[in-house]
Structure 1
Amino acid sequence: MPASSIRIGLYVNDPKSTILRHVRCLLNWEMRFHTVLREDLATLRPGDCDVLLLHGGWYGIDRIPSQEQHRFRTTPAHRKMGEAVRGFVRAGGGVVGICCGAFNVVWLGLLEAEISRSQGAGLHALEIVDATHPIAKSVRRRAQGRRDRRWLPVPCVRVNGPIFFPKRKEQMVFSYDWEQRLGAVLAGGYGRGRAVAISPHPEMTEDELERYVTSTPRM
């Protein structure tokens, strides 16, 4: 799907977190977007946008029973927001969660994975796990003359993002390690829609964010 035809719903939980970088990226790519405020999330409906983009720097929409940990208490307001997001994706919408937004993609049950919280901020490298995935195709580079690897690592910026252990290994697109055990980017289906959980911050390397957003509707 051409970038210019994708309608982005940019969730705004806290304008002071990472929103400005996202807005700059979307404007630079001439992508259509509108903001979805926290108080509006409970009324999200299928067709309101093509892709819901959940930024980093915040916590807490809702959690399925298996993800009720870390003293989180679901409130009626959280439950309504969670039901709305699940219904949106189930009906065919796409959701992309970045860092804390990725936590929520898993907590909502849109992708099944265990999460490990590990501190770490700065430049990181991603290992390509599924080179055939639309997200990976535009960044895969052959490791010419190397016998120990097929693809060159992909640079990224991580700011305490989650480490995933997916229940379905085929949903891991990138890992943080050579052994492909520490998931960095997951992608998979939920109902008729698609979900992507991204541990690092692709908006800090702008070309990366565009790839995630434009790939989600057609995966």
Structure 2
Amino acid sequence: MSGPLALVYRGPATTEGCPEAVAHLLKSSRWDFDVRYVGPDEDLKLKSKNLDGAALYAQPGGGTLEDAYPHLKKRRDAVREFVAGGGAYLGFCLGGYLAGATPGFGLLPGDTDQYIGTKAATVSHDGNALVRVYGSGRAHTLFFQDGPYFWLEPGAAAQVLARYANQEIAALVTGFGAGKVGVVGPHPEATEDWFTDVGLAVPRDGGLGLELVDAVMAR
């Protein structure tokens, strides 16, 4: 018997390897997801009728927000209605930016911006890097490529799972209607080849990705 349906976007608003890494993370979680891809060239398209049967929709990392959003702009209402109706949204790096509002799906009680532009950021370029974030009493060293930080409106309710070294928010879970939104700036889903292909040391997995999945699925 298969578990809850998780849909992972794969298409022009991401890059090769990112959807597959998210799918691998979901399959390795304790939720026994039935993971399928959605996108313009997939058997399942990103439409309300397909989202309606899912428990979770995941938006992987990829290129720039400016390039990605035009491909997804027409799906904004479908994604918002899915989450507001009780679904879970999971966004990694670009998927985190897309959860924001300028532009994006408008799922956060606040917005996003580039971590590399913040005061005392430990990464100052938009290339491949390692970044350390801190949460649940642990440090996580993660793959990073110009990911966002998240800011919240005063009084907004959110569960902060991790912060960058300068205390900006690196990962959080918040509510949207009857659903939940989980976002992360770095790439806790990155597989070993992401690091070795660009000459970065492979860190020990700190488990932030699975923690994010559990938090966004909790009811």
TM-score by length of 2: 0.70
1:111 matches 2:114: no
User: Partner of 1:123 in structure 2?
Assistant: 130
SS at match of 1:160: coil
- Which amino acid counterpart does residue 33 of structure 2 have in structure 1? M
Counterpart amino acid of residue 3 in structure 2: S
The alpha-carbon deviation at position 28 of structure 1 amounts to 4.5
Alignment of 1:59-138 (within 5 A): 59=64, 78-106=72-100, 107-117=104-114, 118=116, 119-120=125-126, 121-128=128-135
* Equivalent in the alignment of 2:9: 11
Q: Provide the residue aligned with 1:43 in structure 2.
A: 48
Residue of structure 1 equivalent to 2:120: none
Alpha-carbon shift at residue 43 of structure 1 (Å): 3.5
Listed as ranges, the gaps of 5+ residues in structure 1 are: 61-69, 129-139, 141-150
Alpha-carbon separation, structure 1, partners of 2:108 and 2:170: 13
In structure 2, the CA distance between the partners of 1:208 and 1:153, relative to structure 1 (3 Å rule), is closer
C-alpha separation in 2, matches of 1:164 and 1:26: 23
Q: What is the letter of the counterpart of residue 215 of structure 2?
A: S
Report the CA distance shift for 1:208/1:74 in structure 2 as closer, same or farther (over 3 A).
closer
Structure 1: which amino acid aligns with 2:76? G
Q: 1:175 to 1:25 in 2, by over 3 A?
A: closer
Higher helix share: 1
State yes or no: 1:21 paired with 2:21.
yes
**Equivalent pair of 2:173/2:215 in contact (CA under 8 Å):** no
Calculate percent identity across the aligned residue pairs.
20
C-alpha separation in 2, matches of 1:90 and 1:170 = 16
Match of 1:143 in 2: none
Cα deviation per residue 1:45-70 (whole Å; 9 max; x = unaligned)? 5532111011000455xxxxxxxxx6
Q: TM-score, normalised by structure 1?
A: 0.70
Distance 1:25 1:183, change over 3 A: closer
TM-superposed deviation, 1:113: 2.5
What amino acid does structure 2 have at the position aligned with 1:53? A
- Letter of the structure 1 residue corresponding to residue 46 of structure 2: L
Partner of 1:144: none
* Match in the other structure for 2:210: 210
Q: Secondary structure at the match of 2:23?
A: helix
Q: Is the 8 A contact 1:125 1:154 kept in 2?
A: yes
Q: In structure 2, what is the Cα distance between the partners aligned to 1:87 and 1:52?
A: 12
CA distance in 2 between partners of 1:42 and 1:173 (Å): 30
User: What do you get for the CA RMSD once the two structures are aligned?
Assistant: 2.9
**8 Å Cα contact 1:11/1:38 also seen in 2:** no
Query: How far apart, CA to CA, are the structure 1 residues paired with 2:68 and 2:58?
Result: 24
Aligned length, in residue pairs: 182
**Residue 47 of structure 2 aligns to a residue in which SS?**
helix
> Any idea what SS the aligned residue of 1:215 has?
helix
Distance in 2 of aligned mates of 1:79 and 1:17: 23
Cα distance, 1:175 vs structure 2: 1.1
What is the distance in 2 between the residues matched to 1:164 and 1:174?
11
Mark the runs of 5 or more structure 2 residues left unpaired by the alignment. Answer: 117-124, 191-204
